[in-house]
Amino acid sequence: MKALQISAHGGPEAMRLVDAPVPQPGAGEVLVRVRAASVNPIDWKMRNGVMRAVFPFPLPRILGRDFAGVVEAVGAAVTDLELGVRVFGAGDLMRDGTHAEFAVVSRASLARTPEGLADDEASTIPVSGVSALIPLAEIAGLGPGRRVLIHAGAGGVGTFAVQIARELGAEVLATAGPQNLDYVVRLGAHRAIDYTATDFAATARDCDVVFDTIGGEIHRRSFACVRPGGLLVALTAAPVTGPPPRADIRVVRAKIQITESRLARLADWAAKGVVVPQISQRFPLNEARSAYAASESGHARGKIVLTIG
Ligand SMILES: NC(=O)c1ccc[n+]([C@@H]2O[C@H](COP(=O)([O-])OP(=O)(O)OC[C@H]3O[C@@H](n4cnc5c(N)ncnc54)[C@H](OP(=O)(O)O)[C@@H]3O)[C@@H](O)[C@H]2O)c1
């Protein structure tokens, strides 16, 4: 099978499209024929080696986490999936990934793809969708009457976050660059804040929740936006240094676990058109370097997808 592999950490030149053996599923695992796979920042961070201390996987390794495709074979103890059924989900970070024609994934980290949801759309959901769902719906418990500030509302996580927060009934503020202000409003933001022209910390006040997808200096400045007793919930992104400057708000680093029930909740919304996956660019597997470069630019709109099968 064709697979996007690294044999050493490095920049784009470290990625090679190779012929690799089709992997075999073990107990509790599923072999998927991949039809589409989105690209996430974690993919090029794993390639660069910056995640090596956290995920010390062996090399060579096939890159990629998200996938959508069909069940090709199942391992022992997987009794509830027919061959040929459409599924989507995420691979395990410690083993070969999904930017390949086939991938072995855990049964626990996939769900059936509903009718009405295309494979490329489904492939955008696992990492980005679940990384928005857990902070907003589960940790923050967003609902009507609550105000949330979402950083990078036009990004992979942000496009899901804006739509989910709106669907949950919250008042949604989102930061974006000037070319994406109308876009995040069309997605559902009540107010878009141009982070290149406006100090978000001065204009987005009294938020019940801030969802930080950027980290670093943005994280520190976000404390000013939260009302006393509110919540700052963050993904793991740029490093945050120093102690929190306020003790009167809750600060949570979200742990993201991709499970069947979370995938199913997001897929149900997507199939109904309530939360619409935002694909800005599609590339075939043999143009994966261009797909990774688009993600690595830091200015992708929504999701970038590799179309494979
Ligand atoms: N488990 C976890 O903790 C977890 C899970 C998922 C993601 N993450 C991390 O979360 C981060 C975001 O992921 P992603 O997939 O959403 O990335 P992404 O799609 O690459 O984000 C790109 C977006 O960021 C926006 N942006 C860049 N700088 C900005 C700023 N200063 N203010 C507001 N928006 C800004 C860009 O908007 P413009 O083009 O308008 O500038 C662009 O739309 C990454 O570091 C990723 O690794 C962590």
Please tell me the residue having the least CA distance from ligand 1 atom 44: 237
Q: In sequence order, which residues have a C-beta less than 8 Å from that of residue 261 and are 6 or more positions away?
A: none
My answer on whether 107 and 131 are in the same domain is no
Q: Is the CB of 295 under 6 A from ligand 1?
A: yes
**SS3 of residue 110 by DSSP:** strand
CB distance 279 to ligand 1 below 6 Å: no
Please report whether residue 243 resides in a domain.
Answer: yes
Residue 287 and residue 216 share a domain: no
In a domain, 132, yes or no: yes
Q: How far is the CA of 213 from the centre of ligand 1 (A)?
A: 6
How high is the pLDDT of residue 224?
Answer: 98
Nearest of 123, 110, 98 to residue 1 by alpha carbon = 98
CATH number for 78: 3.90.180.10
pLDDT on residue 309 = 83
Identify whether residues 155 and 98 lie together within a single domain.
no
The residue assigned the tokens 């929504």 is: 302
d(CA 157, CA 211): 10
* Rounded-to-integer distance, Cα 113 and Cα 95, Å: 23
116 and 7 assigned to the same domain = yes
| Burial class of residue 36 (count of CB atoms within 10 Å of its CB; 0-12, 13-18, 19+) | buried
What's the CA-to-centroid distance between 216 and ligand 1, angstroms? 12
Ligand 1 centroid distance, CA of 152 (Å): 6
Distance 278 CA to ligand 1 centre (A): 14
Q: Per the domain annotation, does 258 fall within a domain?
A: no
Q: Nearest-CA neighbor of 126 among 270, 281, 307?
A: 270
Asked if 156 and 66 sit in the same domain, the reply is no
Residue 292: how many CB atoms within 10 A of its CB?
24
Name the residue among 14, 66, 1 with its Cα closest to residue 40.
Answer: 66
Q: Are residues 202 and 109 in the same domain?
A: no
* Domain-located, residue 185: yes
Distances in Å between the alpha carbon of 306 and those of 33, 70, 96, 162, 276? 14, 16, 17, 24, 18
Within this chain, do residues 165 and 282 fall inside the same structural domain, yes or no? no
- Give residue 57 CA to ligand 1 midpoint distance, Å: 24
- 3-class state of residue 139 by DSSP: helix
Pairing state between β 250-253 and 191-194? unpaired
Q: How far, CA to CA in Å, does 163 sit from each of 136, 155, 272, 276?
A: 11, 12, 13, 8
pLDDT tens sequence for the chain (309 residues) = 999 999 999 999 999 999 999 999 999 999 999 999 999 999 999 999 998 999 999 999 999 999 999 999 999 999 999 999 999 999 999 999 999 999 999 999 999 999 999 999 999 999 999 999 999 999 999 999 999 999 999 999 999 999 999 999 999 999 999 999 999 999 999 999 999 999 999 999 999 999 999 999 999 999 999 999 999 999 999 999 989 999 999 999 999 999 999 999 999 999 999 999 999 999 999 999 999 999 999 999 999 999 998
Name residue, tokens 């992997």: 23
How far is it, in rounded angstroms, from Cα 304 to Cα 279?
6
Check if 298 has its Cβ closer than 6 Å to any atom of ligand 1: yes
The DSSP string of 37-76 is EEE-HHHHHHHHTTTTTT----SSEE---EEEEEEEEE-T
Residues 70 and 17: beta-carbon distance below 8 Å: no
Q: Does 63 lie in the same domain as 157?
A: no
The long-range contacts involving 283-290, CB below 8 angstroms and separated by at least 24 positions, are: 283/307, 284/308, 285/2, 285/4, 285/17, 285/99, 285/100, 285/101, 286/2, 286/17, 288/4, 288/15, 288/17, 288/99, 289/12, 289/15
Secondary structure tally for the chain: helices H, strands E: 9, 16
Answer whether 213 contacts ligand 1 (Cβ < 6 A): yes
Q: Which of 46, 125, 157 to mutate to test the pocket of ligand 1 (most atoms within 8 A of CB)?
A: 157
131 and 249 share one domain = yes
Q: Is residue 259 part of a domain?
A: no
Alpha-helix runs per DSSP H in the chain: 41-48, 119-122, 130-133, 156-167, 181-187, 200-203, 216-222, 260-272, 288-296
On whether both 106 and 142 belong to a single domain, the answer is no
Residue 227 within a domain: yes
Could you tell me if 118 and 53 lie in one domain?
A: yes
113 and 18 both lie in a single domain? yes
Atom of ligand 1 nearest to the CA of 158: 16
For a pocket test of ligand 1, which of 123, 160, 235, 303 has the largest count of ligand atoms closer than 8 A to its C-beta? 235
**Mutate which of 150, 195, 222, 295 for ligand 1 pocket (most atoms within 8 A of beta carbon):** 195
The C-alpha atoms of residue 238 and residue 207 are separated, in whole angstroms, by 22
The count of domains in the chain is 2
Whether ligand 1 lies within 6 angstroms of the CB of 154 is answered as yes
CA 302 to chain centroid, in Å, comes to 10
219 within domain boundaries? yes
Q: Verify whether ligand 1 is closer than 6 Å to residue 180 (CB atom).
A: yes
Domain limits at 57?
Answer: 2-124+277-307
Q: Ligand 1: does its nearest atom lie under 6 Å from the Cβ of 292?
A: no
* 261 is a domain residue: no
